[in-house]
Each structure stands twice: as structure tokens, then as C-alpha cells.
Structure 1
Amino acid sequence: MRVLIVVATAGEAARLTDLPADVVVSGVGPVAAALATASALGQGRYDLAVSAGIGGAYPGSGLVPGDLAVSSRIVQADLGAWDGGAFLELDALGLSVLPEGAHAGVFDVWEEAQALAARLGAAYGPTLTLSTVTGSREGAEGLTARYPGALTEGMEGAGVAHAALLAGTPALEVRGVSNPVGPRDRAAWRIPDALAATRRGLEGLLAGASG
């Protein structure tokens, strides 16, 4: 199985370049991730596109820094409109991320995702993509109320998933947890542990793919 791995930064990629997969550094955010993924998928056939890297864990997820999360679906969680205190998703607005058909920015994932999570001992649930990192407890709790069971927050997953959908390629998000989502406390971040968890997840994915 030929796998494309898309990460936001060179620091994340540096831990992965020896893996038996193609690793692309996209830059930060869903637009950068979508453009890089589309470019790579346009140059060759892949069996799976993976958005990988570090991320924050939502309240109630049970995840702590160093844990691993595998997506059950990938959600572009800030795409919609605020109406007073209510957030309206695209389907409520009669809009879609696709030029034809209805699609509210909630992307299905690779059919083997749940089995992979079980094999890795990883959490399995929705992963959310936002263009702006959540910086308050209230914001984090609001997102988990809208998307029950949400595990992690990242900035690229939905971009990778969108480009993969248009190319007809399955997608997946794998996140190592570096910090809780909420007030920014850089002293509490455990980036090396998160990078190690991300690598562990990708090693497990690739070992299963070649087995």
C-alpha cells in the first residue's frame, strides 16, 4: 500500500523521513494542507492520505500528552456561521464544500481506521480541524458540545481529507497529543512525547499495510 503522509512543519517531518511512505510538509492550516495534498495526489497514485502531527486534546476525551488519537471522522469545525450564540453548520445554511451535492465539511475516513486504533491501543473518535487554535476552556467545551466525542484539535486534517476526497483517495488523521485544548500554557506542552506518539501510530499503520 502506498501511503502519503502530510505534516504541517519540518520539525514533524524530521521524525518521519525514514518511514516507508512519502512525507510532505504542507505548511500550517487547512488551505496549505489541501494544496499540498492535491499536488502530491496529482503526481502519483496513493492508497491512503494521512494527516499527521501533534495536536491538542479536548476536555472529556480522556487523553493526556503523549497519547495517540486516530480519527473516526475528520471535521472542519469552524466552517459555518454564528447567529448570535448559535453556530450554524453548512447544511443548516444550505451550503456545501463541494460544487455539487451536499457536504458540510465532515469527512469520512479510511475503512480500516477503527481496526488500526484497536491494534495501536489508540483513542478512536472525531478529530476537529480549526484555522485558529482554541484558547479558552469555554471554547473547547463549546466544540465538544457540538461534536460529541471529539478527541483532538489540529489545523490541517480537513484540508487533507478534502483534497483526498476529490482525488478518490481514502484519508485518515493521526495525532499525538501535546497539550490540552484551552488556555495556552506552553510550559505544559510535551511536544517530544507527542511526536513520539505520532511516529508510533504511523509505524503501526505502515507495518500493517505491508503485512
Structure 2
Amino acid sequence: MTTIWILAAMQDELDLLKQALHAAPEEHDLPLPVHRGRIGERPVGLAALGIGVAAASLGLGLLHRELKGAEVIMVGSAGALPGSGLITGDLAVAEAEWLSELGLPTGPGTADARALGLPGLEQSARFDARLTAAIRDAAERMAKATFGPFLTVLSPSADLQQAGIRAAAFRAVAENMEGYALAAAARTLGCRAAEIRAISNQAGDRDKHNWDLVPAQRLAQAAVLQYLKEQA
């Protein structure tokens, strides 16, 4: 039976799932932590890839044999972009991912890959429609859930003005630092991929007193667990 893989940047973003799935650490030679558990008869793998699109890409490459042809879900937290209507405690499910700084710079934290005219250079990648719809249905049973494009950034928005520029440039609802890596890799790996994140803060607000990171991490995991239970 094919393993469902749940990926995140950090271990904290998988702790609730590891506990619920009775997942145990796996001994292997890979330089990243992997846990394995079950939901009913279905095996589930969990891996923390590291923070940022470069670390996530490397982690996906290391796991490519496991992920090829599999069902893969990325989970974590995100900052809500201006105009999204998202607030702390909401869920967001990605339709696609844009890599904000890929291409010829167009503004603070934005670029246009098309302007380079390089064949095969794509700034956006879509997720699997059927898996995304199922994740969205499960999310809507947990909390308010918004569906739309996400923005992967190399550096988080420094202030609300930059966040607004990014939101307008890409019409994205939330920013994160890893999602594009999975969306782009899914085509090469031939896997069905989706991404769900809970909102921990407003993008561009760097005052962490206004953030609610831990509840956001747990809510996103709870939504994935709800999906897994429905599939068991």
C-alpha cells in the first residue's frame, strides 16, 4: 500500500501528527529526520525538510525514491497577505505556489521570471486538483478555510508595505518559505501533492508578540489528521 507523506519545515510542525499516528523515528543514512506511523492500514511517513526553499528542495531530492508516485502533503504555518481576508487562526489551502524572487527584479521582494526569456524557467507550479479539493473539504470542517495561490519567499516580508506589493504582484493569499519546492518537484517526481497552512501572523508584521505560531502549527496538523481519518 502506498505511503502517504506529510512534509514540513520543522519538527514542531509535525509533533501532533507524530503523536496521533504513533510514528517512530526511522534509522537511515539520510541527513534529515523521518518518522513512520499508520492511519488504519495506510502507512504514513513524516519528514522535516528544513527552513526555506533551498533546504526543502534538497530534502525532497533526498526523499525522491520514497516520494515518487506517492501522495504528498506539506503542512505548516504562514503569514496572511494583505487583501486575503485571512486572520490568525484561519486555514489556507494552496491552489498553486509562486516563487516571489525568481527572475528579473521588479520591486522589493518581487521578480518576473518571464522577463529572462529562459526556456523551462517557471515561476509558478500548481498542486494536484483532486487531492487539494479533499484537503480543502477536511479543512473546512476544522475552521474557516481559504483557497488560493500561495507565495514562496526567500525572505519574509519586512513590513506591511512590502507584503502589499507582493500580494498585488502575485494575487496570493499567504506567504511561506518552502511550498514552491514541493509544487515544482511534484511534476518531476510524478506525485500527487497538496499544501495546507494555518495563519500565524500577518505578513510584514515582524512583532512576534502579535504572532500565534504554536496554535497555527497544531491547527494545520489537525486538519491533515482529519483528512487522514477520512481516508482510512
- TM-score, with length taken from structure 1: 0.87
Aligned mate of 1:105, from 123, 130, 137: 123
- Distance in 1 of aligned mates of 2:138 and 2:55: 31
State the Cα distance separating 1:39 from its structure 2 match. 1.8
- Distance in 1 of aligned mates of 2:50 and 2:96: 22
In the alignment, does 2:157 pair up with 1:156? no
State the Cα distance separating 1:164 from its structure 2 match. 2.2
RMSD: 2.1
Query: Residue in 1 aligned with 2:218?
Result: 196
Over the matched positions of the two proteins, sequence identity in percent amounts to 28
- Distance in 2 of aligned mates of 1:52 and 1:44: 16
In the alignment, does 2:208 pair up with 1:207? no
Read off the aligned partner of 2:122 and give its amino acid letter.
A
Instruction: Evaluate the alpha carbon distance shift between residue 10 and residue 58 of structure 1 in structure 2; reply closer, same or farther with a 3 A threshold.
Output: same
Count of matched residue pairs: 204
CA contact under 8 A between 1:38 and 1:167: conserved in structure 2? no
Partner of 1:15, secondary structure, is helix
Q: Give 4+ residue runs of structure 1 displaced > 4 Å after superposition.
A: 83-88
Aligned mate of 2:136, from 117, 125, 128: 117
State the Cα distance separating 1:46 from its structure 2 match. 4.6
Read off the aligned partner of 2:123 and give its amino acid letter.
G
CA contact under 8 A between 1:3 and 1:46: conserved in structure 2? no
Partner of 1:193, secondary structure, is helix
Query: Residue in 1 aligned with 2:32?
Result: none
CA contact under 8 A between 1:6 and 1:160: conserved in structure 2? no
State the Cα distance separating 1:193 from its structure 2 match. 1.9
Range with bigger deviation, 4-13 or 14-23: 14-23
Higher RCO by CA contacts (8 Å cutoff, separation 6 or greater): 1
CA contact under 8 A between 2:101 and 2:109: conserved in structure 1? no
- Distance in 1 of aligned mates of 2:207 and 2:150: 21
In the alignment, does 2:183 pair up with 1:182? no
CA contact under 8 A between 2:64 and 2:189: conserved in structure 1? yes
Partner of 2:14, secondary structure, is helix
- Distance in 1 of aligned mates of 2:196 and 2:84: 15
Larger Rg: 2
